[in-house]
């Protein structure tokens, strides 16, 4: 009898120790983030993007300074806080990247297909990524305010929600498998519950970000592309409707969350 | 040509706090590309900081330093409004110099 009690005690002890260890591990990650926050290399991409934005380029040799990101031609400050949104001139809901591509195509005369078919960090896509770093930095500290007024925006939200819960692929996975419950973790990373405002803001408010493990800047499109890779889904087409729909879903869910972009991620 | 750095310098109580963010691949020479070929080593070897023509910091970097390195150091005797100059040289003899005004 006595033996049974002591072993029961032992079990509860080791459980407590395990819990404490998990806690300190996530704390350590927070500490690490704090340490490197001062030198976020995303700033280097931002500086490059600022130059690209203002420099006349492309077949038409014009800059992107007349590019309308939703707040009027050339307005960068606060632009990414209200994206994705509906654009009259393209009759589409566009996220930041697809909108930049539209500007590069219409203003500068670049071939949009070429950018879409290039890989990440390849060719003109690299410039899109740098411009993203520049634009999202100009919304830092603002509140997420993705609109859902236009019927097309509502349609995209519904599609994003559907995509978020769509389960499939060789591992029978959905975004919701990892991101629809509180307190989930993959190794040491806390996974936000994107179905709620708090979690959605934690995810949506920190991307695009510089990723320390791969040593480069990741746009939201790249982040979503990797989500699909991790689920073993076929690779989504760059700036395709499903990727924009997912951004709309997360952005609307995250309403009023604070923007911390460009983030700094493991 | 090498990409620009971000240099920030702030003076408090006679001590200047300098923060430098460099854009550099910092290849170790140990990695292989997708075709199995070794990626040649390419990293910063020395970094120097000068203030009014006088060297205030010298660092010797090697392949163990991360990509896009961040450096933070302090030196005594700097004044607001003056400039700090940072220069790095890498193993291919490429270099980059940037300046920052002390605030």
pLDDT digits (tens, 9 = 90+) for A91-127: 999 999 999 999 999 999 999 999 999 999 999 999 9
Separation between Cα atoms, residue A200 and residue A71, nearest integer Å: 24
Q: Check if A67 is active-site.
A: no
Q: Residues A39, B19: contact at Cβ < 8 Å?
A: yes
Give me the CATH topology for the region B6-101.
Immunoglobulin-like (2.60.40)
Contacts of B67 in chain A (CB under 8 A): 215
Could you state, in order of their start, the residue ranges of all structural domains in chain B? 6-101
Q: Residues A84, A244: contact at Cβ < 8 Å?
A: yes
Q: What is the structure's pLDDT at A157?
A: 97
pLDDT by residue (tens digit) across A18-75? 444 445 566 777 777 777 777 788 988 998 999 999 999 999 999 999 999 999 999 9
Mean pLDDT of chain A: 89
Which residues in chain B come in under a pLDDT of 70?
Answer: 1
Q: Which of B4, B19, B21 sits opposite A41 (nearest CB)?
A: B21
Matching CATH number, A42-265, of 1.10.260.40, 3.90.1490.10, 1.10.760.10, 1.10.8.60: 1.10.760.10
pLDDT by residue (tens digit) across A227-246? 999 999 999 999 999 999 99
* For chain A, counts of helices (H) and of strands (E): 10, 7
Unique residue bearing structure tokens 């879903």:
A249
| Complex ipTM tops 0.90 | no
Could you state, in order of their start, the residue ranges of all structural domains in chain A? 1-38, 42-265
Q: What is the structure's pLDDT at B99?
A: 92
Over pLDDT 90: what percentage of chain A? 77
Q: Which of B4, B21, B67 sits opposite A215 (nearest CB)?
A: B67
pTM: 0.82
């Amino acid at each position: 009898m006595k033996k049974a009690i002591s072993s029961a005690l032992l079990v509860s002890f080791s459980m407590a120790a395990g819990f404490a260890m998990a806690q300190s591990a996530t704390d350590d990650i927070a500490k690490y983030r704090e340490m490197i926050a001062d030198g976020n290399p995303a700033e280097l991409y931002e500086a490059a993007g600022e130059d690209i934005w203002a420099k006349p380029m492309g077949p038409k040799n014009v800059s992107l300074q007349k590019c309308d990101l939703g707040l009027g031609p050339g307005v960068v400050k606060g632009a990414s806080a209200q994206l994705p949104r509906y654009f009259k001139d393209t009759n589409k809901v566009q996220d930041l990247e697809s909108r930049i591509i539209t500007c590069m195509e219409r203003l500068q005369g670049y071939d949009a297909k070429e950018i879409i078919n290039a890989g990440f960090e390849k060719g003109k896509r690299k410039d899109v990524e740098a411009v993203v770093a520049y634009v999202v930095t100009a919304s830092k500290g603002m509140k997420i305010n993705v609109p859902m007024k236009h019927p097309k925006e509502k349609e995209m939200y519904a599609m994003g929600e559907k995509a978020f819960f769509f389960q499939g692929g060789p591992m029978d996975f959905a975004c919701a498998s990892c991101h629809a419950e509180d307190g989930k973790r993959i190794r040491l990373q806390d996974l936000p519950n994107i179905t709620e405002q708090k979690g959605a803001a934690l995810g949506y408010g920190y991307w695009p970000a510089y990723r320390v493990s791969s040593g480069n800047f990741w746009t939201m499109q790249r982040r979503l592309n990797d989500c699909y890779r991790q689920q073993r889904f076929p690779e989504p087409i760059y700036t395709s409707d499903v990727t924009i729909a997912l951004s709309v879903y997360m952005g609307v869910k995250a309403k009023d969350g604070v923007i911390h972009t460009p983030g700094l991620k493991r | 040509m090498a990409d620009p750095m971000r240099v920030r310098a702030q003076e408090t109580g006679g001590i200047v706090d300098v923060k430098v963010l460099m854009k550099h691949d910092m290849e170790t020479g140990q990695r292989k590309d997708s075709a199995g070929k070794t990626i040649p080593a390419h990293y910063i070897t020395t970094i120097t900081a000068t203030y009014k023509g006088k060297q205030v910091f010298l660092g010797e970097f090697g392949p163990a330093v991360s990509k896009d390195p961040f450096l933070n150091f302090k030196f005594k005797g700097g004044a607001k409004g003056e400039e700090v100059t940072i220069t790095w040289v890498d193993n291919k003899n490429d270099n980059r110099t940037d300046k920052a005004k002390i605030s």
